[in-house]
Amino acid sequence: MKMKIVADSSANLLALPDIDFGIVPLHVIVGENDYVDDDKINLTAMQEDLSSYKGKTSTSSPSPHEWENAFGDADVVFCITITSTLSGTYNSAVIAKDIYEQNHAGRKVYVLDSLSTGPEIALFIEKIAELIKAGFAPDDIYKTLLEYKDKTHLYFSLASLNNFAKNGRISPVIAAGIGLLGVRVVGKASDEGTLLPLDKCRGEKRALKKLINHLKECGYTDGKIIIAHNNNEAGALELKKLIENTFGIFNGKIQKTRALCSYYAEPGSLLIGFEA
Ligand code: X90
């Protein structure tokens, strides 16, 4: 039985060792330019374009057809999407699932709405890969995944909320002031899969301190952690050091955001997914 993991590009991953894995790209649109969030994208060019362009910019979700193509010829697909509350990506995956299962009797697609994005999705993907390699049956993998989802979190420190507000994905009142004079917002993915602001912080140091406090509140001890940063390796390394100092371990890794997360988590931002 051929099993495959397919996720959208908000996971910030391109490949997975020893596992059949596919990524479906979202798009970042800057005027006439359509940046496809795949392995061929020039992220530096996209960022320069975004910084200099004065007109409207936006993002768009993949079509059902793109999902279907990524399912390939797998008998069982585990499909993980960015939160359905902020993107049409999940809806289009569900449509693709129905078509795929109708066209190929006996095949099955499990679609999981992550209610999150980035590094928390990456944790889900790694968990599924582990379970596939350990030889578990599809239904058991899916059940375990749902239990796992209750133990993971996504927190962030965002350098600006401009693109969130401009695209109607957060209220302008909440966005006001973030980004000015180094003001950051620390917050989390809510249970409903929306952006929940928790603290306004002046300066990165304070933001990192808040993140550590949130880890403690969640009961974090030594679980897996993935940090994703947009052009802020120094901040990611500082956070890693604080985690080591506070919890005695950094059981994780640091990744760079790809296009979709880089658009909303603007340069200087950090995302952190962890198991508590
Ligand atoms: O369909 C589309 O065009 C994509 C819309 C995506 C909107 C959300 C992107 C979030 C990217 C930003 C920080 C974390 C916020 C967490 C909320 C769940 C990452």
pLDDT one-digit tens code per residue, 68-106: 999 999 999 999 999 999 999 999 999 999 999 999 999
Give the pLDDT confidence of 168-226 residue by residue, as tens digits. 999 998 999 998 889 999 999 999 999 999 999 999 999 999 999 999 999 999 999 99
Same domain? For 175 and 228 the reply is yes
Same domain? For 201 and 179 the reply is yes
Same domain? For 116 and 246 the reply is no
Same domain? For 99 and 183 the reply is no
| DSSP characters over 111-129 | EEE-SS-HHHHHHHHHHHH
Question: Residue 275's pLDDT is what?
Answer: 98
The atom number, within ligand 1, closest to the CA of 89 reads: 1
**Count of domains observed in the chain:** 2
Contact 209/192 with Cβ under 8 angstroms? no
Q: How far apart are the first and last CA of the chain?
A: 33
Closest protein CA for atom 1 of ligand 1 = 87
Same domain? For 191 and 136 the reply is no
Closest protein CA for atom 9 of ligand 1 = 264
Confidence check: pLDDT of 63 > 90: yes
Same domain? For 168 and 134 the reply is no
Confidence check: pLDDT of 64 > 90: yes
Task: Give domain status of residue 132, yes or no.
Answer: yes
What are the CA-CA distances from residue 123 to residues 21, 119, 130, 171 (Å)? 14, 6, 11, 29
Same domain? For 14 and 91 the reply is yes
The whole domain housing 14 covers 3-26+61-149
Task: Give domain status of residue 128, yes or no.
Answer: yes
Task: Give domain status of residue 42, yes or no.
Answer: no
Query: Of the residues 149, 170, 186, which one is the last residue of a structural domain?
Result: 149
Closest protein CA for atom 11 of ligand 1 = 261
Same domain? For 116 and 171 the reply is no
Q: Domain containing 203 — which CATH number? A: 3.30.1180.10
Same domain? For 98 and 143 the reply is yes
Task: Give domain status of residue 13, yes or no.
Answer: yes
One-letter amino acid for residue 61 of the chain: S
Q: Domain containing 7 — which CATH number? A: 3.40.50.10440
| DSSP characters over 188-218 | EE-TTSSEEEEEEEESHHHHHHHHHHHHHHT
Whether ligand 1 lies within 6 angstroms of the CB of 193 is answered as: yes
Question: Residue 181's pLDDT is what?
Answer: 87
Same domain? For 135 and 7 the reply is yes
Task: Give domain status of residue 252, yes or no.
Answer: yes
CA–centroid distance, 261 to ligand 1, in Å, is 7
Question: Residue 245's pLDDT is what?
Answer: 98
Query: Of the residues 101, 132, 149, which one is the last residue of a structural domain?
Result: 149
CA–centroid distance, 117 to ligand 1, in Å, is 7
Give the pLDDT confidence of 218-270 residue by residue, as tens digits. 999 999 999 999 999 999 999 999 999 999 999 999 999 999 999 999 999 99
Confidence check: pLDDT of 42 > 90: yes
Contact 273/12 with Cβ under 8 angstroms? no
Length of the chain: 276
Residue (of 40, 35, 16) closest to 261 by Cα position: 35
Mean pLDDT, residues 117-121 taken together: 98
Pocket test for ligand 1, best of 34, 117, 169 (most atoms within 8 A of CB): 117
Same domain? For 186 and 260 the reply is yes
Same domain? For 144 and 156 the reply is no
Q: What is the ipTM of this complex?
A: 0.99
What is the C-alpha to C-alpha distance for residues 89 and 85, in angstroms, rounded to an integer? 10
Whether ligand 1 lies within 6 angstroms of the CB of 195 is answered as: yes
Contact 21/15 with Cβ under 8 angstroms? yes
Task: Give domain status of residue 67, yes or no.
Answer: yes
The atom number, within ligand 1, closest to the CA of 158 reads: 13
Whether ligand 1 lies within 6 angstroms of the CB of 24 is answered as: no
Query: Of the residues 102, 125, 149, which one is the last residue of a structural domain?
Result: 149
Task: Give domain status of residue 43, yes or no.
Answer: no
The atom number, within ligand 1, closest to the CA of 88 reads: 1
